[in-house]
Chains A and B, each alone.
Chain A
Amino acid sequence: MDHFPVAELPKTPTGIEGFDEVTGGGLPTGRPALVCGGAGCGKTLFAISFLVHGATRFDEPGVFMSFEESSDELAQNVASLGFDLPGLIENKKIVLDHVRIERSEIEETGDYDLEGLFIRLGYAIDSIGARRVVLDTIESLFSGLENQSILRAELRRLFRWLKDKGVTAVITGERGEGTLTRQGLEEYVSDAVIMLDHRVTDEISTRRLRIVKYRGSSHGTNEYPFLIDAEGIAVLPVTALGLNHAVSAERISTGIPRLDTMLEGNGFFRGTTVLVSGTAGSGKSSVAAHFVDAACRRGERAQMFLFEESPAQMTRNMKSIGIDLQPWVDRGLLEFHASRPSAHGLETHLSRMHRVIDRFRPSVVVFDPVSSLLSVATEADVHGTLTRLIDYLKGAGITALMTSLSHGKTEQERTDTAISSIVDTWLLLVTLESSGERNRGIYVLKARGMSHSNQIREFLLTDHGVELVDVYVGASGVLTGSARVTQEAAERAAALAEEQELERRQRALARLKTAFESELASLQAKFEAEQADLAAGIVQNEARVARLGEDKSDMAKNRRADAGNGGARPARSEDARAKRR
């Protein structure tokens, strides 16, 4: 008993999109599985899908034993899903047996068993070599037959018999009060129990599937949303997708050149998720339209999921800012999918988007705006849904741009944080209010894996699209719009004034220079005059000295004095010395 080979439980694929992924292969082969849920939850559809897929895709014929709907009703009901029951019946791929019990025409007396049912089922199985069986809904027997103890014993025997037959069976059961099924069928079918749920919250219905039990197999215990639409039933696996998707280093343009510049000059990484959030009228859709336009210009396919506007409205509005999306639609590169958020539950939205994306295989998708989904579900649900969506998109290498409407400052924080942790790039569009104006600004709040600009740019909607301009950042703060224009004008005026002042000063200097030069000239003249004057003086003086000498000698001649004795001169110098003392 210590070691024994662990054989993987063989599984039979149901062919139901997503369900086989969730269960790791489908239902347990050769065993009965119980599918239970309330009225209208999709039990019968699940069962018939299992059977039809088996017959058409897996070469496993099946028997559908209906205790409720007649063969015709059933064929009609599933014809809308593209299931050709009459054809399959004709080709001996499927046997439909309608078991009708009218209590009013049945009288019970004494002991009996349900061997008749066994024989019928056995005969049906053997007639086409069926590998799959559906009993829908066997609980109807409880209302048709009185003797419950016989019935229970026979059901127990039936499920054992099915196992012995080796057919993979789906038994449906109506949900009961406090129990999975009204008659406690879960007691008999213990290998796999799947619960379908159809919940209406805030007037919006959501379908969910849960694997209550799956003996011998690991399975997700989550509730998985599922969808019933024109293509049948589809379950959305949550955990089947993970964080191991391949990443791309390729960059794709945002469609706005200066926004690319803000993101290292190259735009977004391919396959990432971008959130563009902002208040009403901040230009979110325009950014989205640019992104889509750029993708289509590169010849890539794009899809836009609109939750507020109709496609016509979107194209018209974008045309007004010079983005013509219509040619892309005409060329089949662009698809619009518009639906009101309240039209379906969140899960249905998700599944629909999932399907549409799966079919179109676009390289970029836009959701405008995801925040409106909040009106149909709680934040936690939206978060869950978006996580699943993003996981899926990343897995498929699709670049997604989601817009999100923020209502106010605090609300914005709250709403966006619900989404922000799961996006790679977050662009915030803000309105800057000043001097009686609202102007648009854009900045990159986060951009995983790149060094992005930390600047706020003013965001202009022109007739040729979105334009980004530098905002004026001055002492008085960030200026945008006409305040920026005024400021720029004021700056230009100031610069001009300064220039003029400089010129004035230059002229003044020139004048001063002229004045200086003329002054200098006059001084020079004065100096020269003085100099000339002085020179003249010296000459006169010498002349006078000479004359004096002549006079002296004349006098000495007259007085007959010694030629060497100066006469009066020494006496005069004696006097001068005395005076100085």
Chain B
Amino acid sequence: MEVAEERPSSTPQAAEAAGESQILRLYIAGQTPRSIAAFANLRKICEEHLAERYQIEVIDLIQNPQLAAGDQILAVPTLVRRLPEPVRKIIGDLSNAERVLVGLDVRPAR
């Protein structure tokens, strides 16, 4: 069921055609265990569900505090899907893959 649903959008051609390559930004504040966990969780989800159609940019706010306002970051970690529109945000350590996928519109909310 899950696999069947994922198939159409997971073929590279379909994704390219729809411009559905995911541009993701992960905001963290220092190399905390939570940041590391979030990054690891994200990598895993992307690899499993998005194949090659994603880019991940990690922004450490400790180093670049001026970037927090631009994406309206309050909580860390926050994953921002900048593309495709609309912008979506997922906050937390991304430990619940199901919710991350719903948040990224990869999987419809049940």
Contacts and interface: CB of A to CB of B under 8 A. Distances in A.
A122 interface: yes
Contact of A112 (B77, B88, B99, B103): B77
Contacts of B31: none
B102 interface: yes
B103 A109 contact: yes
Given A101-B72, A123-B66, A123-B68, A112 B91 contact: yes
Contacts of A99: 72, 74
A330 interface: no
Interface string A67-100: 0000000000000000000000000000001011
B50 interface: no
22 contacts: A99-B74, A100-B72, A105-B88, A107-B89, A107-B90, A107-B99, A109-B92, A109-B93, A109-B100, A109-B103, A112-B91, A113-B34, A114-B75, A115-B76, A116-B27, A116-B29, A116-B73, A119-B65, A122-B65, A123-B65, A123-B68, A145-B75
B103 A113 contact: no
Contacts of B94: 109-110
Contacts of A101: 72, 74
B13 to A, nearest CB: 28
A1 interface: no
Interface string A116-138: 11011011000000000000000
A106 B80 CA distance: 9
Interface string B44-83: 0000000000000000011001101100111111100000
A120 B67 CA distance: 8
A108 interface: yes
B89 A116 contact: no
A97 B69 contact: yes
Contacts of A294: none
Interface of A: 97, 99-101, 105-117, 119-120, 122-123, 141, 145
B87 interface: yes
B95 interface: yes
A107 B34 CA distance: 17
A164 to B, nearest CB: 17
A122 B65 CA distance: 8
Interface of B: 27, 29, 34, 38, 41, 61-62, 65-66, 68-69, 72-78, 86-96, 99-100, 102-103
A119 B62 contact: yes
Nearest to B103: A107
Question: Chain A at the B interface: mostly helix, strand, loop or mixed?
Answer: mixed
B65 to A, nearest CB: 4
Contacts of B62: 119
A110 B65 contact: no
Contacts of A110: 38, 41, 92-96
Contacts of A120: 65, 68-69, 73-74
Contacts of B100: 107, 109
Given A105-B89, A111-B92, A114-B74, 7 more contacts: A107-B103, A109-B90, A109-B103, A112-B76, A112-B93, A119-B68, A120-B68
A370 B75 CA distance: 57
A123 B73 CA distance: 13
Nearest to A144: B74
A573 B73 CA distance: 176
A141 B91 CA distance: 14
A110 B99 CA distance: 10
B92 A119 contact: no
A157 to B, nearest CB: 13
A106 B96 CA distance: 14
Contacts of B102: 107
B86 to A, nearest CB: 7
A109 B89 CA distance: 10
A112 B90 CA distance: 10
Q: For B76, B99, B100, B103, which residue has the most chain A Cβ atoms within 10 angstroms? A: B76
B110 to A, nearest CB: 14
Contacts of A119: 29, 61-62, 65, 68
A105 B76 CA distance: 16
A145 B75 CA distance: 10
A109 B77 CA distance: 10
Given A97-B69, A116-B68, A120-B69, A109 B61 contact: no
A111 B38 CA distance: 9
Contacts of B73: 116, 120
Contacts of A116: 27, 29, 61, 68, 73-76, 78
A509 to B, nearest CB: 120
Given A105-B86, A107-B99, A115 B93 contact: no
A108 B29 contact: no
A145 B73 CA distance: 12
Most B CB contacts (10 A, CB to CB) among A99, A106, A116, A122 go to A116
Given A109-B92, A109-B99, A112-B92, A117 B87 contact: no
Q: Which one of B41, B69, B89 has the greatest number of beta carbons of chain A within 10 Å? A: B69
A112 B38 CA distance: 10
Given A107-B102, A109-B96, A109-B103, A117 B91 contact: no
A280 B41 CA distance: 84
A115 B35 CA distance: 12
A269 B87 CA distance: 74
B15 to A, nearest CB: 21
A106 B48 CA distance: 22
A97 B65 CA distance: 13
A122 B73 CA distance: 13
Nearest to A151: B75
Name the residue among B61, B65, B73, B87 with the largest chain A CB count within 10 angstroms.
B65
B31 to A, nearest CB: 13
A106 B75 CA distance: 11
